[in-house]
Structure 1
């Protein structure tokens, strides 16, 4: 990679874009900001014109959600740093797909490790594979996650997961008639599936609420695969709240 890193900023808040440019100019003189755009259409035009190494991309723009930039651009030899003030769902999506992101307010301290990581990427990774993963995760109609099985990766609809169960330092993903052992711990899936209607029944089991068919004495869950899961004493209040919510 050349010593100069070319970049564009895509941000519809003028104060935010000017501040980011100021931080980059002061702390990272090797990064040259070629233009600041405020819209999807402007970003697409700038990408084709400048073919930057790096894009600082806000999520919500004046004419839509910035993922459309990723979907529509024909030039893909660049990396993206999402600049976001939004919730952990998006953070997990970016992390899961190996995108970089930074939470606002942006500081040189937050940017430094990300920029250093970017400098080590030779050449800049294309985003085509990441784009597929991101859209799979963000698909509102049928969101999916990837389960790595060593020799292969499975794209799994979240709605098909009955439960996630700790197996020592590993985790089994349980379906109606099968299960897959993954090398990730339960905590990884607990964080990944946060906000996806999963209930932590006990220390070792995360249950998909959609697959709970019965609740026995407010302490045992009967799942769609006929498995019984005990709810820990400390989590029974949360279970009661869940029951009351659906009564």
Structure 2
């Protein structure tokens, strides 16, 4: 379990790291930080499962770090010498609260909670993937896609998909008839795999188009495709010849 320790006291950092190494074998400390700013940088870099966070630190204090990470998926265990911070820790959705000096038994219990939460999250994600696989294979075979979205699950008719655009680790799916685009929590590569052999072609590393809605091709270095809704989609130079070969087979 990837773990980050954040504490402005060098001794506290060293003691906690030693306790984790000795009594919590599931924990892998990937970074040790002395202030809130470096903590946020480490969180972005390592994408941890667990963060041990001190409260009183120079620059950003622990609760300001918590506020900056309020939508994060990792667990947070607050560590401090002052028990009056307990209520604030709960309000900021901390998983647990440890008073210094940290007692071994309390530390092990807190880490066990973090491990349990991580397992529950993985099981929940696995169930969602199983549901989508069932929908793909049994409920609407070859007709619909069931894709996770920020709001839950999005059901899309394949024939309504005009083109898809990469948006980081997500994909924005544009639909025919002026319908509002749908943002789904799947990479363009994953969406491309689901639409294999259904009339779609990856013309660019950021674009996947439905060839049935291609209006015309405009020559150029790579060229551009005008879709039936007027959208202009670039064709990369690397994919141009493969695209032209595919068009000839239509």
- TM-score, L = length of structure 1: 0.45
| TM-score for the superposition, normalised by structure 2 | 0.45
User: Whose relative contact order is higher, 1 or 2, with alpha carbons under 8 Å and at least 6 apart?
Assistant: 1
